[in-house]
Each structure stands twice: as structure tokens, then as C-alpha cells.
Structure 1
Amino acid sequence: VEHVEFKEERALEIAKQIIKMGVENYKNRIKKRVDIPKEIKGLIAGFTTENAFHFLGGKYRSTYRPLNDAIISGRLRGAAGVVGCNNPNIRHD
């Protein structure tokens, strides 16, 4: 495992470096440890609290009410959020 430090002003260059590293390392993959599912799942990614309001309540009635009601009624058994974290070696942005 190799850490690649991110610098916003060099984002494209660093992204290309990471892709190149992945391509070059492909030959070293351990096939039995790779599990790529065949099924395709839908995904909504990269949204904010404001977007969540819109998704749940529409353009004119943005609210968390549909989410709350679904949890309270038991129709929705849980919710998960995957969020990014800052690197502990740098100052919080």
C-alpha cells in the first residue's frame, strides 16, 4: 500500500498518477480475493442535506417528513450514510 498525498492544485495530475499506479499493479492482483458482483445496483451519490430535502419532499415541499414517517412506521428499517473524512495528518478544511 502506498499513500499518495492530495494537493488540490495538482488534483488532475495526482488522479492520473493514481490511475497509472492501478493499471501497472493490475498484474499483481490475487484473483481469488477479487469479487466483482454481476448484478447492477442503482445509486444516488454526492448529495447534500439540501438535496435530501428535495429528494424526499419535492421542489415545493422539501422536508424530512417522508423519511421520518417511513422509519416510525417500520417500513424503512434503517438508513446509512457514507461520508468522506479528512486525513488526520492535515488540518481540517
Structure 2
Amino acid sequence: MLEKAYRDGRISREAYESNLAKLGIARPPDGRRAALRRAFDEGKITRAIYARNLTAQLGVAGDPAGRALTKAFVDGKIDADLFEKNLSRLRGP
């Protein structure tokens, strides 16, 4: 929820990082996955491109459940947060 507020621009980066520290949560890595999500949130890439790249990064592109999730996301049936969460579950720990 805190991350979504930050991504939506409702809180500043400083407030986001301060709250993470107060809660004892490590700041998420600002890597390729985060950059991909930012590009999607800013409208720089389409749902289909975001889905294709995210499934490739997580290594679930060939998984039948991953393909079903991708179709649901591209068709607008699930949002990006749920899409990421479910793909991460497919990947495992």
C-alpha cells in the first residue's frame, strides 16, 4: 500500500523511504523490474510489452499459468499489482 501511494505520487520519495525505515522494511531494489514498472505506470510502454518483459524477467514466460495471467492482464481483467503478485508466486521463493 505504501509503495502504491509512492508510485501514484501521493507521497514523496523521502516520505516513502522514511516510512519504510520506520516499519523496518528494506527498500526494494531499484533494478530492471522497478524501471519496467515505472515505464508502465508512466504510460511509456503498453500492457502487452510490460507483461512480456515482466514474465521474461521472472522466468515464467513458458508457464501455462503465466500465459493465462498475461492474457488476463493484457485484456484488462487484472491490474498490474495483482499481475506482479501472481507472477511472483509462480516463480516461487
Normalising by the smaller structure, the TM-score range is under 0.3
Where is the helix percentage greater, Structure 1 or Structure 2?
Answer: 2
TM-score with structure 2 length normalisation? 0.25
Instruction: Work out which structure has the larger RCO, using CA pairs closer than 8 Å and 6 or more positions apart in sequence.
Output: 2
Q: TM-score, normalised by structure 1?
A: 0.25
